[in-house]
């Protein structure tokens, strides 16, 4: 089970563990974004610090309708106590968790300040 909290800004946030290229664990707060169908976004400073491997680039349509080209990296995250390889889009702003990372899980949100965020595997 992964636990988090709803913030005063009405964002569902969890702590995510990302494995750097030298096998160190970096803990980051990431916002759940159900409108994002990818796995994870990370800002360039974090991508550089983790020394993630570039896997190419892809077009992405942002929430405002604009289409951009973003670099794609390979990363490993700790998800339900297991290492899982995911694709990371480099995008400025805070880390976002998308529906591809959440796939196969039940997400329960208590939408009040300080409310619980619970992610349980179902597959």
pLDDT at 62: 79
The CATH number that domain 11-103 falls under is 2.40.70.10
**pTM score of the predicted model:** 0.93
Query: Residue 122: CB partners within 8 Å, gap ≥ 6?
Result: 104, 105, 106
Distance CA 107, CA 26 (A): 23
Look at residue 39 in the predicted model and tell me its pLDDT.
Answer: 98
pLDDT tens series, the chain, 123 aa:
999 999 999 999 999 999 998 999 999 999 999 999 999 999 999 999 999 999 999 998 877 888 999 999 999 999 999 999 999 999 999 999 999 999 999 999 999 999 999 999 997
Q: Domains of the chain: which residue ranges?
A: 11-103
Cα distance from N-terminal residue to C-terminal residue, the chain: 13
């Amino acid at each position: 089970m992964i636990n988090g909290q709803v913030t005063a800004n009405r964002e569902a946030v969890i702590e995510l563990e990302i494995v750097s290229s030298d096998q160190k664990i970096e803990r980051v707060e990431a916002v759940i974004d159900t409108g994002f169908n990818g796995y994870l976004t990370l800002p360039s400073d974090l991508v550089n610090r983790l020394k993630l491997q570039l896997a190419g680039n892809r077009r992405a349509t942002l929430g405002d309708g604009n289409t951009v080209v973003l670099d794609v990296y390979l990363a490993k995250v700790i998800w339900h106590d297991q290492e899982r390889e995911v694709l990371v889009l480099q995008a400025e702003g805070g880390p976002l968790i998308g529906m591809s990372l959440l796939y196969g899980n039940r997400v329960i949100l208590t939408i009040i300040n300080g409310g619980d965020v619970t992610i349980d595997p179902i597959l």
